[in-house]
Amino acid sequence: MKQEFIFIGPPGSGKGTQTKLLSKDYNLPHIDTGSLLREEVSSGSENGKLANSFMEKGQLVPIELVSQIIKNRLLKDDCKNGFILDGYPRSLEQAEALDNILKEVNSDTNINLQAFYFNVPEERLIERLVNRRSCPRCGTIYNLKTMNLKNKEICENCGSKLVQRDDDTEEIARKRFDTYFAQTEPLIEFYKKRGILTELDASLSIEEIYKNLTGAIKNYVNS
Ligand code: AMP
């Protein structure tokens, strides 16, 4: 069965961390629009420049650009058994665009499509975002406050210098939340009405959230 998972949640709710774990255990590609857009920005392309003008304000990048990037990615061979969408869709308009993209990329009739909502109180999130650092080489994500790093600047996994994302400042983080509540939160009702949404308490530990996530996938598949 082709497994298609959609992860919805505010910035800093831990979607990325959970996707990395699930991606490894289920052998599914992790498709994260934020990272795909940051790659486009680093390439210096015209699309990258356009995307950056929205990203630096904490706003959504225009749907045409994001839909194109997603469609090209979902057509790649490694998505034939499924994928995990982290950070897409982020608006009702994008959810409708995704329905159309899935019709094009899914030739398989046996599909398990599930959406997960990572729910965490907003104040916890701001604290997580401003303390978030990541490794540009191996992708490990750290929280300077909750993780006891020997050296707060160095990745414990591969020794590279950790970086902070440009949009993980308090000012831009607050704007990203405004965008989330106005445009992304309505997706919770959208997928709930379809009967494919599971809500997860994302204020728990990484291990507990992962246990609940994989438990919900198994229950759904077996029901
Ligand atoms: P993220 O890494 O998921 O926090 O995304 C960083 C930024 O990339 C967001 O604040 C948006 O500006 C942009 N972005 C990521 N995903 C999308 C999307 N699905 N639609 C539009 N813009 C997006």
Dump pLDDT digits (tens) for 117-129: 999 988 788 888 8
Is 137 assigned a catalytic role?
Answer: no
pLDDT of residue 127: 87
CA distance readout (Å), 135 to 58, 131, 143: 22, 14, 12
Task: Give the separation between CA 78 and CA 193, rounded to whole angstroms.
Answer: 30
- 21 Cβ contact list (under 8 Å, min separation 6): 206, 210
Is the Cα dihedral 145, 150, 151, 157 positive or negative? negative
Residue 77 alpha carbon to ligand 1 centre in Å: 24
Query: Which CATH number describes the domain made up of 2-120+175-222?
Result: 3.40.50.300
Q: Rounded distance, CA 160 to CA 153, Å?
A: 8
Q: What is the pLDDT of residues 140-181, one digit of tens each?
A: 999 999 899 999 999 999 999 999 998 889 899 889 999 999
Q: What's the pTM?
A: 0.87
d(CA 20, CA 18): 5
Q: What is the mean pLDDT of each run of 10 residues along the chain (223 residues)?
A: 94 92 95 93 94 94 94 94 95 96 84 94 86 92 91 96 92 92 96 96 94 91 62
pLDDT given at position 41: 94
At 141 the three-state DSSP class reads strand
Q: How far apart are CA 78 and CA 80, in angstroms?
A: 6
Distance 32 CA to ligand 1 centre (A): 9
Q: Residues 2, 15, 38, 133: which is the catalytic one?
A: 15
pLDDT of residue 108: 65
219 alpha carbon to ligand 1 midpoint, in Å? Answer: 30
